[in-house]
Structure 1
């Protein structure tokens, strides 16, 4: 079976969200893309002692200035499409109240006819946690556990009951329900998070750091699932942050998914061989506007399918 292909929606500051999101969503669905995706960046700190991904001295990219809210973006895409899945890669879950997040995802799934995929992560930005975290950064793992549990409860049959450190539902009707069970996928970048994934989640949503690295990570996760006695297969969606250039990159410093359409497709082929079910291609950060995004997305899709993926 061919690898499913997803496309990142235009959330960054160079886009007109109300116009470009429905336009790109509609066009991508017509091209043949299987899914559309959003990511979360709550704010852009003007001054911070913490670098990108928590690495001291690593600057935040300018593209993170003014990223549109992810679930609002997906709602715009939902109204413009009929078939594609609508995913988050990723939503920084502990920046959201558990009950409110569960209700929002359920409402979006009901409205879209059962197309939502909840890709969740715990994030890394202390500034974002200071502004929006429901608990301090150090407690993000416990918050994630409760969010998953609250989602399962709220999406399940009424009456809903739940007792946690952040959420109490004594006995209540909570509607609308999702059109079908919403899959929860986790980024899971460390051992504790991988254990949470195997025990609580439906699948894995890694970021591409090279085909060899991905293959190694996938083996580790599969081994852990076997050790824990997990029977259900793990759903998988690989996120690729592409840096498009009209001219090919040259030299040894080219990272994964950097360069021309041919170079991006070459990397897609290599990563597809690892055997994950779906690959998300996010091109929005390196193109000028929605017209170029649609053009490059069409070239990538055509070339990938021609390559047999």
Structure 2
């Protein structure tokens, strides 16, 4: 069992450099950073995890910036987007950002992706909410071509470009591992179709416990011709509950991690110590 931690980095939270350094010293595996480019003041879609949208969602910094800082002060800690909103980003530029951060980190980047829930936010980027899933898939497929081919091209319904040359290529081959985040079963299907692992989430719309959906995910992977053992499962936003972590370990979950509040170091470091105590049990 591996352990990580996630944070919405803001101008009032612990810095990514300090958090990364403290995590590496305690033996954590991965630092995750989520993203929102902005929050429209009038939302068509409710927040899926509760009645009110927390302030940190409005204030979060760009994950590629904060994770690059974290990589610069560490040697072993992996860094990951948890999650990057692919449907809101240009795929050619995003492919370069992913390859660049994988290069500067020495191959330590994990590409967690999600298709998003905030309709207004997407529409401000020119993304049509109803077709965001196909758009995201095409962008991932296009980025894979960019990462693995010297003369890459892609022709789809939403992404279309003739042969291009762009470097750097990622350190990790064929590319950094891609994890799809979201609720069962739809994100599970997307992970099986074009990713390397799954970041399952429980939402108000689908409250099925992860202990039930994880075996179903593996069955779906097998039926689709994927090796379930080769598709790791990572579970975020977890409490420091030893019994719960033990149950995930028995299910073969690769990593669990908490979503730390956007607080300064004096609030965060005791939380890391608590998780470090749990880590030693596993």
Question: TM-score scaled by structure 2?
Answer: 0.89
1:111-170: per-residue Cα shift (whole Å, max 9, x none)?
1111111111111011211222x4211111111111210121011031222223343332
Q: Tell me the equivalent position of 1:178.
A: 170
For residues 43 and 113 of structure 2, what CA distance do their matches in structure 1 show? Answer: 25
Alpha carbons 1:88, 1:118 under 8 Å: kept:
yes
Matched, 1:29 2:24: yes
Is 1:234 the counterpart of 2:231? The answer is yes
Q: Is the 1:87–1:118 Cα contact (8 Å) retained in structure 2?
A: yes
Report the Cα offset of residue 269 of structure 1.
3.2
Match of 1:249 in 2: none
Match of 1:92 in 2: 85
In structure 2, how many angstroms separate the alpha carbons of the residues matched to 1:297 and 1:166? 43
Distance 1:296 1:68, change over 3 A: same
Q: What stretches of structure 1 of length at least 5 have no aligned partner?
A: 242-256
CA contact (8 A) 2:200 2:234 kept: yes
CA distance in 2, matches of 1:240, 1:11: 15
- Give the corresponding residue for 2:4: 6
Computing the radius of gyration from Cα coordinates, the structure with the larger value is 1
Can you give the 5+ residue segments of structure 2 that lack an aligned partner in the other structure? none
Alpha-carbon distance between aligned partners in 2 of 1:48 and 1:169, rounded to the nearest angstrom: 33
How is 1:179-258 mapped onto 2 (pairs within 5 angstroms)?
Answer: 179-180=171-172, 181-207=175-201, 213-231=209-227, 233-241=230-238, 257=239
Q: Secondary structure at the match of 2:246?
A: helix
Once the two structures are TM-superposed, the CA of residue 212 in structure 1 deviates from its matched residue by 7.7
State the structure with bigger RCO (CA 8 A, min sep 6), 1 or 2.
Answer: 2
Where does residue 111 of structure 1 map in the other structure?
Answer: 104
Instruction: Report the Cα offset of residue 204 of structure 1.
Output: 0.3
1:88-127: CA deviations, max 9, x gaps? 1111210111111111101110111111111111110112
Shift of 1:40: 1.4
How far, CA to CA, are the matches of 1:186 and 1:227 in structure 2? 19
Instruction: Measure the CA separation in 2 of the matches of 1:100 and 1:228.
Output: 31
8 Å Cα contact 2:20-2:31 kept in structure 1: yes
CA contact (8 A) 2:233 2:255 kept: yes
Tell me what 1:244 maps to: none
Query: What is the match of residue 52 of structure 1?
Result: 47
Give the superposed CA RMSD. 2.4
Instruction: Name the TM-score, length of structure 1 as normaliser.
Output: 0.82
User: Are 2:7 and 2:33, in contact at CA under 8 Å, matched by a contact in 1?
Assistant: yes
Structure 1 runs (4+) deviating above 6 angstroms are none
Aligned residues between the structures: 277
Task: Show the counterpart of 1:296.
Answer: 271
